[in-house]
């Protein structure tokens, strides 16, 4: 009778323990990455009143089974459902991470490693990736400085926001290419000022510059000169190009050019030697007033032409513009005409445009500007020499319109912009022209210049500031910079165990390794090695099944009630026994 009483007590204790397990599961239904526990019973022990006996062939009796009376129940095992994947909860926060698979994040309090499925991380004041709840450092692998690849060694705290990672170093531009269509009917190309193309590049310190190139048509309709006009810094100031070369050193070339007078827009008066607009109402330039004897006056000196006041520079610019050289006055003044019929035995004279204007001002009409219309001639253009430039000659195939080489060499597809002569912070840039064409594009050119080669290598960059951090599904952490670059900062290491259910809970969503779970080797594994991966912006929810827990609660409650009845009935029997003395 007393055995039944104590069996009931053991049953009450066992069911109370199971209720404790169920209650803990329900309490943690919303705990991040919580793993539910389950409990099973086992019988406590049995009292043997008669042992089993075997059959007796001599007496002819059979064997008997053992006679045992159970003495109650006990907790058989409490297991953790570690392998049960919890549902994902989207947070949108980049440092919230969820492991899909059976691996664990490795975190450390500075002296001991723990393991967790709780991926709610943040970056602390020292730049370390840490658990939001405990502040424990998230452990991982660093980056090899030489190879810029992950070095899978003993895990260390991941410091993703170190001073070195906040910026990305600048790099000078070493490659560039020009591509697009250079239409031979483009009026910009055929004009004296040419077709402008700009190239943006960086020096070694990350300062930005803009190089302005000019395409101009030469005598050959399928050949163009390309010259560097100027380089401007980000501050708007032009650089001194002394020491700079473009193409090959000493590649200075001379091209003939046609000088035309635009009589539809301008009017020349041969008597007063003045230039006016088309209707003659506004004086634009005066030749006589610009010279003092045989010397051109200072360009900033003011002169009076009729009732108009202007500078010598303005007057020269107006004459250059009238002949199609707007913006290229200096080049216009340096053009020259070679004497066609020199005296016998004499070298042909070369008369520059500036000298022609001087002769015109002094009344030496025979050596004056040969293309200015006057009463005796209708000439409106002439061929001039003297357009020198340092640059390259770009040729195209007249049959298919494709790029045909530089300087007549089909094998030469690149030219070097020799910036090295400008200072130690500059690097020469190799420019590729191989993708240019000369197709018909209805008079519109699309040619442009891009830093970097055709694969984007060598484009250079400014100093980059960190604008974000991203984590890949393999745990690799990258920094993103505003100069378009990315940098590998490290990789989150994970731990795997032969028996994950053998881990011991340590509170705060942490686990510790035990003798039955297997050891952590201090290095860890790539999360993708076992088919798992990391999702960012998500957290793993608890894997508690409320329906299952409530069902278990009902059966546990009934079991507890039944065991309490055992005690009640046993007490009644004892009461009947004590009543026998009455």
- What stretch of H or E contains 26? helix 2-27
Domain-embedded: residue 507:
yes
Place of tokens 């969503």: 509
Task: List C-alpha distances in Å: 162 to 127, 465, 466, 495, 569.
Answer: 6, 13, 11, 25, 72
Confidence band, pLDDT 50/70/90 cuts, at residue 30: very high
What pLDDT sits at residue 18? 93
Q: How many CA atoms lie within 13 A of 433 on its CB side?
A: 30
Q: Same domain, yes or no, for 355 and 426? A: no
Angstrom distance (rounded) from CA 156 to CA 505: 23
Q: Which range marks the domain in which residue 204 is found? A: 175-251+390-451
**Is it the case that residue 327 has pLDDT exceeding 80?**
no
What pLDDT sits at residue 336? 84
Q: Same domain, yes or no, for 354 and 402? A: no
**Is it the case that residue 535 has pLDDT exceeding 90?**
yes
Domain-embedded: residue 459:
no
CA neighbor of 253 nearest in space, from 210, 219, 212, 211 = 219
Q: Same domain, yes or no, for 227 and 374? A: no
Phi, psi for 340 (deg, rounded to 5) = -80, -40
List, in sequence order, every residue forming a beta bridge with 274; answer none if it has no partner: 269, 286
Phi, psi for 163 (deg, rounded to 5) = -60, -35
Domain-embedded: residue 61:
no
Place of tokens 């009845």: 565
Which comes out higher in pLDDT, residue 248 or 280? Answer: 280
Domain-embedded: residue 457:
no
Confidence band, pLDDT 50/70/90 cuts, at residue 387: low
Task: List C-alpha distances in Å: 231 to 17, 173, 200, 419, 534.
Answer: 83, 14, 10, 10, 49
Q: Same domain, yes or no, for 288 and 372? A: yes
**Is it the case that residue 443 has pLDDT exceeding 80?**
yes
Length of the chain: 582
Q: Same domain, yes or no, for 241 and 269? A: no
Angstrom distance (rounded) from CA 91 to CA 123: 17
CA neighbor of 357 nearest in space, from 341, 373, 348, 370 = 370
Domain-embedded: residue 384:
no
In the chain, the percentage of residues whose pLDDT exceeds 70 is 94
What pLDDT sits at residue 248? 55
Confidence band, pLDDT 50/70/90 cuts, at residue 374: low
Q: Same domain, yes or no, for 394 and 502? A: no
Domain-embedded: residue 353:
yes
Confidence band, pLDDT 50/70/90 cuts, at residue 227: confident
Q: Same domain, yes or no, for 336 and 321? A: yes
User: Whole-model pTM?
Assistant: 0.68
Place of tokens 């609660």: 553
- Domain final residue pick, 330, 346, 379: 379
In the chain, the percentage of residues whose pLDDT exceeds 90 is 54
CA neighbor of 396 nearest in space, from 418, 413, 379, 417 = 413
What pLDDT sits at residue 383? 76
Which comes out higher in pLDDT, residue 185 or 210? Answer: 210
Domain-embedded: residue 267:
yes
Angstrom distance (rounded) from CA 303 to CA 301: 7
Q: Same domain, yes or no, for 332 and 409? A: no
**Is it the case that residue 107 has pLDDT exceeding 80?**
yes
Confidence band, pLDDT 50/70/90 cuts, at residue 320: confident
Structure tokens, 191? 């004009």
Count of domains for the chain: 4
Domain-embedded: residue 356:
yes
What does the mean pLDDT of the chain come to? 88
Q: Same domain, yes or no, for 526 and 428? A: no
In DSSP notation, 504-534 reads: EEEETTEEE--TTT----SS-B-GGGGT-EE
Q: Same domain, yes or no, for 152 and 188? A: no
Q: Same domain, yes or no, for 235 and 305? A: no
Q: Same domain, yes or no, for 559 and 527? A: no
Alpha-helix runs per DSSP H in 110-182: none
């Amino acid at each position: 009778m007393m055995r039944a009483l104590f069996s009931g007590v053991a049953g009450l204790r066992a069911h109370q323990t199971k209720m404790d397990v169920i209650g803990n599961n329900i309490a943690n239904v919303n705990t991040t990455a919580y793993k539910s526990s389950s409990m099973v019973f086992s019988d406590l022990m049995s009292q043997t009143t008669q042992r089993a006996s075997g059959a007796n062939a001599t007496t002819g009796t059979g064997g008997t089974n053992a006679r045992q009376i159970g003495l109650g129940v006990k907790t058989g095992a409490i297991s953790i459902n570690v392998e049960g994947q919890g549902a994902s909860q989207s947070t949108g926060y980049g440092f919230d991470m969820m492991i899909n698979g059976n691996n664990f994040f490795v975190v450390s309090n500075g002296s001991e490693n723990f393991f967790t499925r709780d991926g709610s991380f943040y970056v602390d004041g020292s730049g370390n990736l840490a658990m939001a709840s405990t502040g424990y450092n998230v452990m991982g692998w660093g980056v090899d400085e030489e190879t810029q690849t992950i070095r899978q060694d003993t895990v260390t705290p991941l410091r993703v926001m170190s001073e070195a990672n906040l910026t990305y170093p600048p790099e000078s531009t070493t490659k560039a290419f020009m591509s697009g269509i250079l239409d031979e009917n483009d009026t910009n190309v055929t004009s004296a000022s040419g077709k402008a193309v700009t190239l943006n590049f960086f020096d070694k310190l990350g300062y930005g510059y803009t190089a302005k190139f000019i395409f101009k048509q030469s005598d050959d309709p399928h050949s163009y000169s390309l010259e560097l006009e100027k380089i401007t810094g980000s501050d708007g100031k032009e650089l001194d190009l002394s020491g700079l070369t473009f193409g090959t050193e000493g590649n200075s070339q001379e091209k003939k050019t046609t000088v035309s007078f635009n009589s539809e827009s301008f009017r020349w008066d041969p008597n007063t030697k003045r230039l006016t607009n088309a209707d003659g109402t506004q004086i634009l330039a005066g030749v006589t007033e610009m010279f003092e004897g045989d010397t051109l006056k200072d360009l900033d000196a003011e002169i009076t032409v009729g009732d108009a006041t202007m500078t010598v520079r303005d007057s020269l610019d107006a004459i250059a513009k009238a002949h199609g050289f707007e913006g290229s006055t200096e080049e216009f003044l340096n053009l020259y005409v070679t004497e066609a019929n020199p005296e016998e035995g004499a070298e042909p004279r070369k008369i520059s445009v500036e000298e022609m204007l001087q002769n015109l001002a002094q009344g030496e009409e025979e050596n004056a500007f040969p293309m200015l219309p006057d009463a005796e001639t209708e000439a409106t253009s002439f061929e001039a020499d003297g357009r020198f430039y340092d640059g390259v000659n770009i040729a195209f195939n007249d049959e298919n319109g494709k790029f045909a080489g530089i300087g007549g060499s089909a094998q030469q597809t690149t030219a070097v912009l020799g910036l090295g002569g400008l200072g130690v912070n500059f690097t020469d840039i190799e420019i590729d022209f191989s993708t240019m064409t000369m197709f018909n594009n209805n008079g519109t050119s699309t040619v442009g210049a891009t830093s970097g080669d055709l694969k984007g290598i060598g484009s250079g960059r400014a100093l980059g500031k960190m604008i974000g951090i991203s984590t890949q599904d393999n745990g690799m952490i990258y920094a993103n910079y505003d100069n378009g670059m990315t940098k590998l900062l490290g990789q989150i290491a994970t731990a795997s165990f032969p028996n994950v259910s053998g881990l011991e809970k340590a509170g705060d969503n942490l686990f510790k390794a035990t003798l039955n779970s297997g050891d952590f080797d201090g290095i860890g594994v790539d999360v993708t090695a076992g088919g798992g991966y990391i999702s960012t912006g998500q957290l793993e929810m608890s894997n508690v099944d409320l329906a299952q827990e409530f069902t278990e609660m009902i059966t546990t409650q009934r079991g507890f009630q039944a065991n309490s009845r055992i005690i009640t009935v046993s007490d009644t029997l004892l009461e009947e026994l004590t009543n026998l003395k009455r």
